Amino acid sequence: MSTIASGLLLIGLFLYVFWPDPNAEAQRNKTRLEYLRERRDNLYDNLRDLNFEYRAGKYPEEDYAAQRAALENEAAETVAEIDLLETQTLAAPLSAAHHSTL
């Protein structure tokens, strides 16, 4: 009984591990653009939290204004870099297509 169970376990696991899978997931490294988008979302979350806490009466006006300005500056810088990288990403295939047509 033990021998049969052991044999079945071994064969089953061997087949499972080495059975060819044509759709093996691509191991791709994260790009800076993806990182910046995550960062932008995070900054927007922080801004939303700050606005909510301000409306709840937790912070005085001047504290709120200072914190909001700092977060907005940071978000603006991130969005600007995203725009730049997106433009470059779009431009690269267009440029390649242009060269191949020529």
Asked whether 72 and 47 are in contact (CB, 8 A), the reply is: yes
d(CA 69, CA 72): 5
Asked whether 5 and 40 are in contact (CB, 8 A), the reply is: no
Q: Which of 60, 98, 100, 101 binds another protein (CB under 8 A)?
A: 60
Query: Considering the rule CB under 8 A, would residue 77 count as an interface residue with another protein?
Result: no
Least Å from the CB of residue 93 to another protein: 22
Query: Considering the rule CB under 8 A, would residue 40 count as an interface residue with another protein?
Result: no
Least Å from the CB of residue 47 to another protein: 11
